[in-house]
Structure 1
Amino acid sequence: MRLTGPALRLTVLIGESDTWHHKPLFTEIVHRAHGAGLAGASVFRGIEGFGASSRIHTSRLLSLSEDLPVAVVVVDTEERIRAFLPQLDELVTEGLVVLDPCEVIRYTGRGAAPESEGEPE
């Protein structure tokens, strides 16, 4: 798959301990994004943060390090990202969903042929 030009970045900010049917919520989001044929998804674990509860979660305090912030980031075309949003409505009961316009400079899946001779993969 190749993707360049205007795109939409979807960021879902949730807690590491949030679950969906007894498995991590971030895992369910990634699997659904994959099932929807989106370009890709990455999960980033935060080291400190707070949300609507105003409780600071940090990796520096053992007692609060069990629910660190997690960001799931997906970039694809606006049409494909917006088509995916209803699934997030079902999954995310507490958290923050952010959409940002962005520009993809180059995205080529592994194993794809290079765009021109001499261009690195």
Structure 2
Amino acid sequence: MTRLTGNALRLTVFVGENDTWHHKPLYSEIVHRAHAAGLAGASVFHGVEGFGASSRIHTSRLLSLSEDLPVAIVVVDTEERVQAFLPQLEELVVDGLAVLDECHVIRYGGRAKNQDETDVKGKKSL
């Protein structure tokens, strides 16, 4: 497991939910590439309303405009790892916005699994 505390870099990428990479959702491709690159973590957040460079408002409130809602992909890791990932992002994001912010990680951790651990439903995890 990656250890991450202290100074870090947050990469936030804003794209549309209908944006694709080789017939796969773009947000999913970004997350999978971040995982393959060994980054500490990535999350996708689905927006309910927004607009971008096109100035067209996309909203979930009107059925006729509920297409292509905004999606934000957030990645946090050390500056070196995030900077190393940026060339892949350049390849993937044609229309969208990418933002880098310095941040400070105060806690990063997950449950360590072992072979005897059971999940919420009482089943043994693999």
| TM-score between both structures, scaled by the size of structure 1 | 0.90
Which structure features the higher share of strand residues? 1
Matching of residues 1-121 of structure 1 within 5 Å: 1-111=2-112
RMSD over equivalenced CA pairs, Å = 0.9
> 1:110 deviation in Å?
2.3
* Shift in Å, 1:64: 1.2
Q: Which runs of 4+ in 1 moved over 3 A?
A: none
TM-superposed CA distance for 1:11, in Å, is 0.2
CA distance in 1, matches of 2:85, 2:110: 21
Report deviation, 1:4: 0.5
CA distance in 2, matches of 1:16, 1:29: 13
**Could you tell me how far apart the structure 2 residues matched to 1:3 and 1:109 are?**
12
Q: Partner of 1:83: helix, strand, or coil?
A: helix
Structure 2: unaligned runs, 5 residues or longer: 114-126
Tell me the matched-pair count.
Answer: 112
1:102 Cα offset (Å): 0.2
Instruction: Give the structure, 1 or 2, with the largest relative contact order (CA under 8 Å, sep 6 or more).
Output: 1
Listed as ranges, the gaps of 5+ residues in structure 1 are 113-121
Change (3 A) 1:6 1:77: same
Residue 27 (structure 1) shift? 0.3
Identity of aligned residues (%): 80
Q: What is the CA–CA distance in structure 1 between the aligned matches of 2:33 and 2:64, rounded to whole Å? A: 32
Task: Answer yes or no: is the 8 Å Cα contact 1:47–1:59 preserved in 2.
Answer: yes
